[in-house]
Chain A
């Protein structure tokens, strides 16, 4: 019993990243920056990157698909599904690497480490602080989807095995 409690509390397999920033803008503008594709392309991606494509289907269960381009011209696509949309306060979605068609791919597709979770969850909250906005981003890895995929792989293998034994 004690063991179970400590393992669920510690959750070491779900490391998370929390970033907080204050922006000198009302939160309605922050909300638009996150949910309007025309605005996403203005800021999505690290320094010197551009974002040539942003598509957003803003509804629960709807998806987004973004492309960012490195200074060397390498494109990185990412996609996710919205699970909570509360304007202008809270936005929750999954986040995964994707190909240009929006299919989820592992980070290794882009030459990044195998340790990247296949699916992550991003929660963004916007709080009004005297006309400014305190934005908090929580980025959590969802490693269980990795095991889900591994499970699918096994099921497919077993299907094939069953087929070959017929």
Chain B
């Protein structure tokens, strides 16, 4: 990576609050703001768990829903058949 490219990347990180930069003569020492990084990860991690576990439950709910639908359909089909049989007599 070229020096100007590194400098550009550092500027982006600084603007995002992920690093802090000082100034010593021609040097720009950079320090990682780990706390800020962790903050971002915390709320994302919270929601990842929230959605993953909710979707497990959604999956179970959909299976149950479809099983019930199938049962109702089977019942209806059976009732129709019986209906037809009864008419014959």
Q: Which residues in A have some Cβ–Cβ distance to B below 8 Å?
A: 2-3, 6-7, 10, 12-13, 15, 17, 19, 21, 23-25, 29-30, 33, 39, 42-47, 107, 112-117, 120, 135, 137, 139, 141
Contact = CB atoms under 8 A, between A and B. Distances in A.
Interface of B: 8, 11-13, 15-18, 39-40, 42-44, 46-63, 65-66
B82 to A, nearest CB: 29
A47 B43 contact: no
Contact of A29 (B11, B47, B66): B66
B42 to A, nearest CB: 5
B57 A47 contact: yes
Contact of B15 (A7, A29, A116, A137): A7
Given A12-B13, A24-B62, A45 B8 contact: no
A6 B54 contact: no
Contact of A6 (B12, B46, B53): B12
5 contacts: A19-B51, A45-B50, A113-B43, A137-B51, A141-B43
Contacts, number: 89
B51 A13 contact: no
A29 B63 CA distance: 11
Nearest to B66: A25
Contact of B52 (A13, A19, A23, A43): A19
Given A115-B40, A141-B43, A10 B61 contact: no
Nearest to B15: A7
B51 A139 contact: yes
Given A12-B18, A19-B52, A45-B54, A115 B12 contact: no
Given A29-B65, A39-B65, A43-B60, 5 more contacts: A15-B40, A17-B44, A17-B48, A21-B55, A46-B49
Residue among A6, A12, A112 having the largest count of chain B Cβ atoms under 10 Å: A12
Contacts of B57: 42-45, 47
Contact of A115 (B16, B43, B63): B43
Contact of B39 (A12, A42, A115): A115
Nearest to A34: B58
Residue among A2, A25, A33 having the largest count of chain B Cβ atoms under 10 Å: A25
Q: Which 6 A-B pairs have the closest CB atoms?
A: A12-B16, A115-B39, A46-B53, A43-B57, A43-B58, A25-B62
